[in-house]
Amino acid sequence: MRRLALVSFLLVSAASAGPDLEARIAEIERINVTQPWQQSAALIEKMAPELTGATIEQRTRVELLRLRNLALAGDNRAGIDKVQSLLEQTLPPAQRIRAYSLGVNMAANIGDHQRAFTWLKEGLAILPERGDGRVHFLGMASYLYALVGEREWSLDFADKEWRAAEQSSDLRSRCLALSDLALAQDLAQQFSASERSRRRQLDACQAASDPVFIANAKAGLGSMLMKQARPADALPWLRVALGEFERAAFENGVLETKSDVAAALLALNRDRAEAEALLAEVAPKFEQQGNWLLLESARRQQCLVAEQRGDWPQALQALKLADQAAKKMQEEAKLRQLAFLQVEFHSRFKDQQIALLEKDQDIAALKTRDAERRQWLLGLGVLLLLLMALTLTHLLNRTRRDRHRYRWLSERDGLTGLYNHQSARELGAAAFRAAASAARPFTVVIADVDHFKEINDGYGHAAGDEVLRQLGIWLRAVCAEHGCLGRSGGEEFTLYLNTDP
C-alpha cells in the first residue's frame, strides 16, 4: 500500500506540474533559436531539478537543446558521446532524426567523417516524407556531400530541402533551407545564384527571428560579393554580420567573418593594420580547430600583408605555413572521401544481406545464394579497390599539380607574372655565376616606371595595376629569352640578361 501511495503521489505531482513544465520547455526551445545560446543553457540548468517529473519525450527535448548548445559553443567532442548515448535509446522518429542531424554536424566538424556518413545514412533510411525534421536533415546531407566533392548530389539535396521547406509552415525551416541552398551553390561556384539565395535567406531568417542565421545570411552575402570581386559592397555586410555573431556568442561565425573582413580590407587596400590584427587573431584559432581551408586563406592574406610592407622573410614564412595548411587540407579531403566510400560500401552490403534474408527462407537455396553473394562481393571488393586506387591516383596527381602551382605562386609576382624579388635575385645570382665561369657577358638592369604615382592618383590603382601587368607582358615578350625578369616591388623591375647592354 505504501508503494502504491507513493506512485499515486508521483503521478499526481507530475500531472499538476506537466502543463507548466511543458510551457517552460517550449519557451526554452524558442529562446534557443532566437537568443544567444548561453540564455537557454542557463534556463535548462535552472530547470534541471524539475526534470525528474518530466516525461521521456520532454527530457529528450531538453537533452537535444543541450546538444545544440554544445555545438554552438564549439564543444563538438563532448557532444558526440552524448549523441551516441541518446541514439542508443528508443526515440520517436522526429527526435531520432534531430539527434542524427546534430550528431552528423558535430562529427563533420571534428573530422570524424566515417561516423558522420554512417549517421547520415542511418538518418536518410528513416527520414519521413514530410515534416521539419526532413527539411533540416536534407540540409545536413547537402553539406556533407559537398565536403566530399559530390556537388550534384549536394545541390540535389539542397533543392529537395528547399521544396520541402516551402510546403512547411515553419519559418525557421525556410531560413535554414535557404542557407543550405546558398552554401551548396557557393561550393558549386554558382556565386550569383548563391548571392540571390542569401538575400532570400535574410528575409526568411528575419521573419523567423533567428539571430545566428540572420548573421549567417549577411556574412554569406558578403562572402559572395567578395567572390564576385566587389569588396566595397561586401565590407559593410561583413562588419554588420561580425557584430551580430559576437552578440550571439557564435565563435565559429565570429572567426570566419573576421577573416573575411580582413580579406575585404586588403582587397580595398585600406586599414592594413586592422586586417593584420584580425588575421593574427584568427589564424591560431583556425589551426587549433583544424580548419585548414580557412587557415590556408588566412596565411596567404598574411603573406600579402607582409609583401605590401616589404617584409619578405615574413611573407615567405606565411607562404610556407599556407602551403602546410593546404597539404593538411588535401589529406583531410582524402580521409573524407575514403570514409564516404567505406560507408557506401557497407551500406550496399547491408542492403544486399537484408534483401537476401527476406527473399530466401529455404536453407538450401540460402546456401546457394550465399555462394553467389560471396562471388559478387569479391568482384565488388576488387572493383572497389580499383576505384579507390583510381581515386587515390587522381588525388595524388592533383596534389602534385597543386604543389607545382603553389611553387609557381611562391616564386612569381601575382600581378605581372614575373619572378618576385627573392626568386629573381636567386636566379640572377646563379646566372651571373654561370656567365662569370664561362667568361660570357652579363648585364643587370634595374628600372622603374617614371611618374607612376601620377597614374595611380589620376586614374586609380586599378589602372596602375593594369599598367604594371601590361609592362610585365611586354618585358616577357622582349627579354625573357635573354635572361631572368623580376619585379622588385612597386613599379621597380630588375632584369638579369645573358648579353651586353
What pLDDT score does 78 carry? 85
What pLDDT score does 489 carry? 83
Rg of the chain in Å (alpha carbons): 29
**Predicted confidence band of residue 233 (pLDDT cuts 50, 70, 90):** very high
Q: What is the mean pLDDT of residues 170-179?
A: 88
Cα distance between residue 134 and residue 23, in whole Å? 25
Q: What is the mean pLDDT of residues 240-250?
A: 91
> In the predicted model, is pLDDT for residue 41 greater than 50?
yes
Most confident of 18-27, 47-56, 215-224, 361-370: 215-224
Helix pair angle (76-87, 93-109), 10° resolution: 150
What pLDDT score does 348 carry? 55
Q: What is the mean pLDDT of the chain?
A: 84
What residue type is assigned to position 116 of the chain?
A
Residue whose C-alpha cell reads 540460402 in the numeric block: 366
Q: What is the mean pLDDT of residues 28-51?
A: 87
* 287 three-state secondary structure: helix
Task: Give the cell for residue 132.
Answer: 521539419
**Predicted confidence band of residue 232 (pLDDT cuts 50, 70, 90):** very high
* 485 three-state secondary structure: strand
Q: What is the mean pLDDT of residues 169-198?
A: 90
Please count the CA atoms within 13 angstroms of the CA of 108 that sit on its side-chain side.
22
SS (H, E, C) 79-143: HHHHHHHHHCCCCCHHHHHHHHHHHHHHHHHCCCHHHHHHHHHHHHHCCCCCCHHHHHHHHHHHH
Q: What is the mean pLDDT of residues 336-360?
A: 58
* 443 three-state secondary structure: strand
CATH number of the domain to which 457 belongs: 3.30.70.270
Q: Is residue 177 part of a domain?
A: no
Q: Specify the number of domains making up the chain.
A: 1
Cα distance between residue 287 and residue 25, in whole Å? 37
What residue type is assigned to position 306 of the chain?
A
What pLDDT score does 501 carry? 65
The domain in which residue 428 lies consists of: 421-497
CB neighbour list of residue 329: distance below 8 Å, 6 or more residues apart: 292, 293, 296
What pLDDT score does 91 carry? 87
Assess contact for 47 and 61: CB atoms under 8 A: no
Q: Is residue 384 part of a domain?
A: no
> In the predicted model, is pLDDT for residue 495 greater than 60?
yes
**Predicted confidence band of residue 343 (pLDDT cuts 50, 70, 90):** low
Task: Give the cell for residue 153.
Answer: 548530389
Assess contact for 392 and 334: CB atoms under 8 A: yes
Cα distance between residue 300 and residue 325, in whole Å? 10
Cα distance between residue 44 and residue 41, in whole Å? 5
Q: Is residue 132 part of a domain?
A: no
Q: Is residue 457 part of a domain?
A: yes
Q: Is residue 183 part of a domain?
A: no
Strand partners, 485: 495
Cα distance between residue 476 and residue 420, in whole Å? 14
Q: What is the mean pLDDT of residues 37-48?
A: 89
What pLDDT score does 4 carry? 33
Cα distance between residue 262 and residue 307, in whole Å? 15
Q: In what order do the strands lie in the sheet with 443-448?
A: 443-448, 492-497, 483-489
End-to-end Cα, the chain, rounded Å: 113
What pLDDT score does 364 carry? 61
What residue type is assigned to position 56 of the chain?
I
- Residue (of 286, 364, 273) closest to 322 by Cα position: 286
Q: What is the mean pLDDT of residues 236-252?
A: 92
SS (H, E, C) 449-460: CCCHHHHHHHHC
Rounded to 5 degrees, what angle do the CA atoms 486, 490, 495 make?
25
| pLDDT tens digits, one per residue of 203-218 | 999 999 889 999 999 9
Assess contact for 455 and 467: CB atoms under 8 A: yes
| pLDDT tens digits, one per residue of 279-310 | 999 999 988 888 888 999 999 998 988 888 88
Q: Is residue 484 part of a domain?
A: yes
Q: Is residue 131 part of a domain?
A: no
Share of the chain above pLDDT 90, in %: 23
> In the predicted model, is pLDDT for residue 165 greater than 80?
yes
- Residue (of 200, 132, 145) closest to 172 by Cα position: 132
More confident residue, 182 or 8: 182
Assess contact for 237 and 229: CB atoms under 8 A: no
Q: Is residue 468 part of a domain?
A: yes
